[in-house]
Amino acid sequence: MLRQFRNCRILRNHEIVRDDIWVRDGKVVDPEKIFFDEKIQADVQIDCQDAIVAPGFIELQINGAFGIDFSYNSEDIENGVNTIAKGLLQHGVTAFCPTLVTSPKSTYAKVMPKIKRRKGDENGATILGLHIEGPFINTQKKGAHPPEFIRSFDEGFKSLLDVYGDLSDVSIITLAPELENSLDVIKKLKSENIVVSVGHSMGNLKDGEAAVRSGASFITHLFNAMLPFHHRDPGLVGLLASDNIPEGRTVYFGIIADGIHTHPAALRIAYRAHPAGLVLVTDAISAMGLEEGQHNIGQFAVEIRDRKAFVAGTETLCGSIATMNECVQILHKATGCPKEFALEAASLHPASVLGITDKKGTLNFGADADFVFLNDDLDLISTWIAGKCVYSRV
């Protein structure tokens, strides 16, 4: 079936332009070929009512939502994944990487085989593979990760396989680059087409640069769980302006624009220093979409107080409860960036991290027809996967 989406403003090639979108077999198609080669009309016309149509949001770091935590609710993980995948549609997320925090080895054995890559539809967003955050991190920057389960690369890559087992459905691994044998591990992961992200680290700038030269390409939640910026050694934050990055390589960084984890001034600094690398992540926990109270993230009890998530009984932040749509709006407001940029930070940029921009993160011809309708305030109107409406606010 050939669908024509008309009366809309499309985000394409970094600009919002007035045009139609044509969709067939779940893909965005070139209307010129339809007009001049096939000489046919659309089977269905959809009036977008002047909405902004942008690529669907892609979430690279989400620990849980709607009362479910990927690491904690391991006994019924299939139903938990389905619940989250379905719920994310109401926030414009059409694809995501379920994220596991530092956990006992038994948790990885239970959970990882049960979270497989799969295509999205009306039942939930696409699963792009797992993001494994830990346990190969620095105990001094553990955040909400339980220290008793943090590991080192004593036996190099073998240590990693011993904890995770099969890596076939893993897309991203967060590790601390200063750990002994980490560079060899990074090189091996790169050869396996797994994105390496540096984070939860005491690493200095040289550690970060060495990791990037070895194949790392992402920074986990910039500013959080890493050494603070210092003018003599800016730490991993310095990767945003390093001149020791291989030519042609982009270092991407996740940033939590929830209005809590990252001050608006810090958002502006990151945006102005290295806009091409900015990737919005929520780092959301099980309390996303729930009321204030006590919940879990991995092996920790957490409390939601004043729209903030803390390790229970402490003042340690342990993930956000913001949605991706909210993060887009906060980034736009805090930095004054164009709407186009804020939307691409949640779509094109994360797709670039994973190397899937031929399919996701754009509305170019041949891409998957995953998109969102938004109003001029960037409020979500509806979510579409493969050209079919999977959520509508009305």
Which residues does the annotation mark as catalytic?
Answer: 283
Instruction: Report the distance separating Cα 210 and Cα 187, nearest Å.
Output: 11
